[in-house]
Amino acid sequence: MTAVQLRSPGPDDFDVWLSLYRQYCHFYKTELTDAGSRTVWDWLQNPDHVLEGLLAVTSESDVVGLCHFRPAPEPLAGNYVGFLDDLFVAPEARRHGVGSTLLRRVIDISAEREWAGVQWLTAADNADARHLYDQVAKATSWVTYEVDLPTDATTKNA
């Protein structure tokens, strides 16, 4: 595989983005509803929304990876960090540097915007991703907790 170029998802990318994002959700055993996918896509297309995305595109114009990121306030430091919400590489494109290229671009964007760092979560058993992440970051000792609420959060505003 040749090197990839990164770009923001444009209006014509919905179908290919959705295909990759469904695979990402399937990997994490998360249901992606039509309403949820449309909401995320609308966020990505809205320049005033905090969520941004990148697509990894081969020289053959195949979209083989995606990531979503945003600024997140870090009150204890009185600053922002970049928060990487999602990173996914199509199975056939793995081990070719696509994930690393996406991750490093989010780190570069965070530095350009003078954010204090970059944070993200991954599943403890996601060995392939953790192998990459261990090369560029340090795992923390923080434990994550969640409370699921019985609402359709995909249509709610922050």
CATH number at residue 126: 3.40.630.30
Structure tokens that stand for 59 in this block:
């020289």
Residue 22 lies in a domain: yes
Q: How many CB atoms lie within 10 A of CB 116?
A: 13
Residue 151 lies in a domain: no
Residue 157 lies in a domain: no
> What is the reported pTM?
0.90
Residue 97 lies in a domain: yes
> How many folded domains does the chain comprise?
1
Residue 60 lies in a domain: yes
The radius of gyration computed from the CA coordinates of the chain, to the nearest angstrom, equals 16
Residue 155 lies in a domain: no
| Residue-level pLDDT at 157 | 61
**Local confidence band at 127 (pLDDT 50, 70, 90 cut-offs):** confident
Residue 86 lies in a domain: yes
pLDDT digits (tens, 9 = 90+) for 72-122: 999 998 999 999 999 999 999 999 999 999 999 999 999 999 999 999 998
The dihedral of CA 136, 141, 142, 144: what is its sign? Answer: positive
65: containing domain: 5-140
Residue 17: alpha-carbon gap to chain centroid: 12
Q: What is the largest CA-CA distance in the chain?
A: 45
In eight-state DSSP terms, residue 13 is G
Residue 156 lies in a domain: no
pLDDT digits (tens, 9 = 90+) for 31-70: 999 999 999 999 999 999 999 999 999 999 999 999 999 9
